[in-house]
Amino acid sequence: MTRTNANGGKAYLAASPTAGTLQAILDDAMPVADVAFENSPEASSGGGMLSYLHKVRDGADLYYFANSSNDRVDTWVRLRGKHALQTWDPHTGVMTTADCKHETEKGQDITRVRLVLAPVKSVFLVGLP
């Protein structure tokens, strides 16, 4: 059950929550994910994973992606919002402009960026205000 107030806010009640019910609520509340990997990359070497953090600090979007596996990662990442991003390599200190593609999904701006990480490497994507 969903209730909407005069300001557009929503409240959800899942009397008997199931995985399907919770997914439907999440899809309605947030139709475009904050961060999504397009082809669901998974480590096949038996250890490690691809993980991320997203923080907003002083109006700047800061994304940190880490590959703790022994596998190379090559995937596209979808970020909610329209961003001009820089790639910061914490291993070398090199900063470059990220190749971003801007699209619209479910009425919201998204930014697609290719993420290539060698085994046990990480990278920052920084969107300056």
Residue 120 has pLDDT above 70, yes or no: yes
State the pLDDT at residue 101. 95
Confidence label for 8 from pLDDT (cuts 50, 70 and 90): confident
Domain 32-127 of CATH type 3.30.300.30: no
CB 91 within 8 A of CB 124: no
Q: Strand order in 35-37's β-sheet?
A: 35-37, 73-80, 108-117, 100-105
For residues 43 and 21, give the distance between their C-alpha atoms in angstroms, rounded to a whole number: 29
Q: Is the pTM of this model over 0.85?
A: no
Span of 23-27, 69-73, 125-129 with lowest mean pLDDT: 23-27
For residues 35 and 80, give the distance between their C-alpha atoms in angstroms, rounded to a whole number: 7
Each domain of the chain, given as residue ranges in start order, spans 1-30, 32-127
